[in-house]
Amino acid sequence: MEGKAEGIAEGRAEGQAGSILRVLEARAVPVSEAARERIASCTDPDTLNRWLDLAVTAADTEELFREDGEEREV
């Protein structure tokens, strides 16, 4: 059963990463190969959720990767 749960979690993470990349692409936000790899390799649901929320308004991928405590320019 544990393997099945891990597979489901991996599938969700892959889907979420794909959604982040799709939103960025639709908004014409440039995504470097390094950023694409970082997004695709992330398995933490909280991080992926935060990145998806930020992808809707981010001007660049650096905005996705800033730590929560860092200042963001408006």
The CA dihedral of 58, 62, 13, 40, to the nearest 10 degrees, is 120
Domain that holds residue 46: 2-64
7 pLDDT band (50/70/90 cuts)? low
Does 39 map to a domain?
A: yes
Q: What angle do CA 23, 24, 28 make, to 5 degrees?
A: 120
CB of 61 closer than 8 Å to CB of 35: yes
For the beta carbon of residue 23, count every other beta carbon within 10 angstroms: 18
Question: Does residue 12 sit within a domain?
Answer: yes
pLDDT exceeds 80 at position 5: no
Distance CA 43, CA 10 (A): 7
- Domain count for the chain: 1
Q: Read off the pLDDT of residues 21-62 as tens digits, 9 standing for 90 and up.
A: 999 999 999 999 999 999 999 999 999 999 999 999 999 999
